[in-house]
Structure 1
Amino acid sequence: MTLQQLAYFVAVADVGSFTRAAESLGVAQPTLSRQLRALEDELGSPLVDRSSRDGLALTPAGEAVLPFARRMLADADGARTAVAEIVGLRRGRVRVGATPSLCIGVLADVLRVFHEKYPDVRLELVESGSQPLVRSLVRGELDLAMVIVPPPGIDAALDTEPLLRERLSVASPTSERAPTSRSSMTVKELARRHLVVPRQGYDLLESTLKAYADAGETPQFAVEGGEMDAVLRMVEAGTGVAVVPDLVFSSRPRLRRTVLTPPLYRTVALARRADLAPTHAMRAFRDTLLSFLAVVSAGDGFPGDVQVLRRPEALTPAPAASPD
């Protein structure tokens, strides 16, 4: 039994004529007749009474099969429509993860632009440190994530595209005197101040501790273990200073930026599972993200020392649909 055979049968039932049914479907009448006969052979009973004096009529078996045939054809059409909508980005889902600073400095605007272009694609956002985000990607709980590279331990499981190179600077409250009389400070100078640091799982914590270790210094902690927003609020309140990415300063006028010397940089990448082909919705999100970065880079740019590494022309176009 095929959908084509069912479509021929429904057309015959609707118009009561092999000739008119074939014309409406754009096929030769002998072809339609053969296919309908094959369907009847498959089901083991005639569906159409060809000897009726009043033209074609459905047999009791045909009457019983007709509602099923209509339903099956409708379901098949619904399946085609659903797939076409997903391919055409009228439906679908993208599960995106990002670190808090990237949510503030980049992703909020990208999500707005994407939603305006594809309002029926469901967006799900997870905000966390890079390490938890990488684990979620590998477990299949996220489709894409903006993470710091290289991802620790399991980078072979991910495909990553570098997006940004951003500097890490010292945040202090504008309500207090600057940490130094200069616009920069060393880790040795930073070690004299009390730190507010995020919880485990934020690469920022490891980057800060490594900078201290490389300089032979021991950090003094004011508060440990906060989420990024809490860290920034505590700095604004004068609890301590923090090492943060430059992206956060654009939305925090109560924070003062002092650069570290030698400089600390980190690379942000868009990551996904290497063994899974990206969906059309994922590709569209990636295109939207890269286009947004290019527009910002061509304009006033990001605050502080943030460099865009990927351009829209470097995008790989979505593969053509298979002829099968």
Structure 2
Amino acid sequence: MQLQQLAYFTAVAETRHFTQAAEEMRVAQPSLSKQIRALELDLGVILFNRARGNITLTAAGEALLPLARRILADTETARREVQELAGLRRGRMRLGATPSLCAGPLADALALFHNRYPGIDLVVEEDGSRDLVRHLSRGELDLALIILPVAAPDTPLATRSILQEQLVVAAPVDGPADPPGRGPGAGHVAIHELRHRPLVMFRRGYDVREATLSACRQAGFEPRFAVEGGEMDAVLRFVEAGLGLAVVPSMALAGRPQLRGVALAPPGLARTIALAHRRDVVPTNATRAFEETLLDFLSDAAASGGLPAGLELIAEPHV
């Protein structure tokens, strides 16, 4: 059994297509197929059901997939750990973060880290929190900034709460005459006031989508969508265009002069942002250095009043 064979097997398992997997691995399709067959002969099992146009995993393939992902992730970790013995002069860190964090304080923290460790290559995956948890559990990320609580992943994660952020209702500055927050009790909007208002909703995989749906249902109604399925930038642009309102992280409105954020009436909606990594993989030196750099940056920003509105530092000891 060779690492290359496991990489090819994982690629086919995830794409369910030999040709697409070969393209992703930058290898000729016949060579990839030959290596998969060699792996099957070595293991003495069939890993894929090869019905025409429908590639699926056999029971043996299903059993091998999480092990293959673990082996490949641990091999990559070992490679980078050896590189980092030179004192963080070389290496790579794969970081995941939600879109609002990427557009917020994370960029400045990454700049500080890059200045401290210019030899470390940074790879950033921007995605919804639920998708980031999946990437972490598969070994595709070293560290991620996710939203708690964590949906049950395949692999247990170690988390450290660092920030709490308020969710607000995003509305156009030049909207209707009675936008939320301008009637009785101006400055706040209760969830039930959104009952008859069209909402712009994020795609599945965003934790703020689930938080919004849960709050509306607890208030006794199903929200009405004007449009759904967008990423962060698209949702904010749709609100600017007047398609509807949206519940968004407070810091997502930074640099959006055409939008205003209306606070939700107490107790409001808040989310906890945490650093997370796989519990069964020892963090690399680069990962530990980035965590230290990020907390240094956030502590300095909190002390100087430089955190975005609605964001509070709540760093806790390691879980």
Give TM-score scaled by structure 1 length.
Answer: 0.68
- Using a 3 Å threshold, how does the CA distance of structure 1 residues 87 and 253 change in structure 2: closer, same or farther? farther
Distance 2:234 2:192 in 1: 25
String of CA shifts for 1:153-212, please: whole Å, max 9, x gaps: 238710000011111110011122432311101111122211001100001100000000
8 Å Cα contact 2:166-2:269 kept in structure 1:
yes
Which secondary structure state, in structure 2, belongs to the residue aligned with residue 291 of structure 1? helix
Q: Report the CA distance between 1:112 and its aligned residue.
A: 1.2
| 1:310 counterpart = 2:315 | yes
Q: Residue 150 in 1 paired to residue 154 in 2?
A: no
Q: Which residue of 2 aligns with 1:276?
A: 281
- Answer with 1 or 2: which has the greater Rg: 1
CA distance in 1 between counterparts of 2:82 and 2:138 reads: 25
Equivalent residue, structure 2, for 1:209:
213
Task: Give secondary structure in 1 for the equivalent of 2:125.
Answer: strand
State the match for 1:292 in structure 2.
Answer: 297
Once the two structures are superposed, the pairs formed by residues 1-324 of structure 1 within 5 Å of their partners are 83=82, 86-154=85-153, 157-177=156-176, 178-181=179-182, 182-262=186-266, 263-310=268-315
The answer to whether the Cα contact below 8 Å between 1:247 and 1:302 also exists between their aligned partners in 2 is no
Quote the offset at 1:290 in angstroms.
0.6
- Runs of 4 or more, structure 1, over 3 Å off, are 82-87
Partner of residue 41, structure 1:
none
Deviations 1:102-129 (A, max 9, x none): 1111211111111111111010010001
Partners of 2:137 and 2:197 in 1: CA distance = 38
| SS of residue paired to 1:89 | coil
- Matched AA of 2:289: A
Alpha-carbon spacing, 1:272–1:246, altered in 2? closer, same or farther (3 Å): same
Alpha-carbon distance in 1 for matches of 2:107, 2:83:
28
RMSD across aligned C-alpha pairs, in angstroms?
1.9
Alignment CA distance shift 1:121-1:310 (3 Å): same
SS at match of 1:163: strand
Amino acid at match of 1:102: L
Distance 1:155 1:269 in 2: 18
Work out the percentage of aligned pairs sharing the same amino acid.
Answer: 51
Q: Tell me if structure 1 keeps the 8 A contact 2:155–2:278.
A: no
Structure 1 stretches lacking a partner, 5+ long? 1-81, 317-324
- Residue 137 of structure 2 contacts residue 154 of structure 2 at CA under 8 Å; is this kept in 1? no
TM-score normalised to structure 2 length: 0.69
May I ask how many residue pairs the two structures share in their alignment? 233
Letter in 2 for 1:267: T
